[in-house]
Amino acid sequence: MDRLYRRDIELTLLWDYPWQQIEDENLTLVRLMYDPTVLLVQRDHPIAKRQSVRIDTLRDQEWVVRDEHPVADVLRRVCHDAGFEPRIAFAANDYQETQGMVAAGIGIGIALAPQLALSALRADVVAVPLAGSPKRRILLANLANRRLSPAAQQAVAVFRSTAKRRASGPAPLDAIYRS
């Protein structure tokens, strides 16, 4: 956002969660889509075959979390809302490392991740929809008082079109992650 305010760039992609929404009268925000939070488990974990899972059924699980990352805050919030403190077994640096730890069964850990962070989902990890999961908004932002260049206007159109195609894609989450 600093680069946007300095006018180094015309557009930026942002995301936020319902409890910490970006509100800035100096920005024009275009909501492109919502990105749900999903549960990552080993392919042979008992939860892997479920159509979805509620967070309150996971109170006895151990978690792999991206420490000092917004997804760690998501985990703590959803667990607290369900009445328990998550037992964090391991911290990972990124989503690929998180998937590796889940796949290896380190601490029999499970993890949360935004769906869009899983474009390279490992074959030995399953993403299970989390019932009532928090969804982050994916936003496109530009300065409200700045007229966009033709190139930036075209970029806005591409982002909107891509988000629309993704939202109306043929494969539901279940088919994408279980195939």
Domains of the chain (ranges; CATH) run: 2-34+136-178 (3.40.190.10), 35-135 (3.40.190.290)
CB atoms inside a 10 Å sphere around CB 164: 12
Report d(CA 8, CA 6) in Å as an integer: 5
- List the pLDDT tens digit at each of the 179 positions of the chain: 999 999 999 999 999 999 999 999 999 999 999 999 999 999 999 899 999 999 999 999 999 998 788 888 999 999 999 999 999 988 898 999 999 999 987 667 899 999 999 988 999 999 999 998 899 999 999 999 999 999 999 999 999 999 998 877 544 443 333 33
Contacts of 17 (CB under 8 A, 6+ apart): 70, 73, 74, 134, 135, 136, 137
The first and second tokens of residue 131, run together, are 């019932």
Q: Could you tell me if 91 and 65 are in contact, meaning their C-beta atoms sit under 8 angstroms apart?
A: yes
What pLDDT is stored for residue 157 in this prediction? 96
Q: Is the pTM of this model over 0.95?
A: no
Q: What is the pLDDT of residue 106?
A: 64
Please tell me the predicted confidence (pLDDT) of residue 179: 31
State residue 7's pLDDT score.
94
* pLDDT score at 57: 94
- The per-residue pLDDT for 107 is 60
pLDDT at position 70 is 87
The DSSP secondary structure of 18-57, one letter per residue, reads: GGG----TTEEEEEEEEEEEEEEEETTSGGGG-S-B-GGG
In angstroms, what CA-CA distances link 121 with 12, 45, 53, 108, 118?
Answer: 26, 16, 19, 18, 5
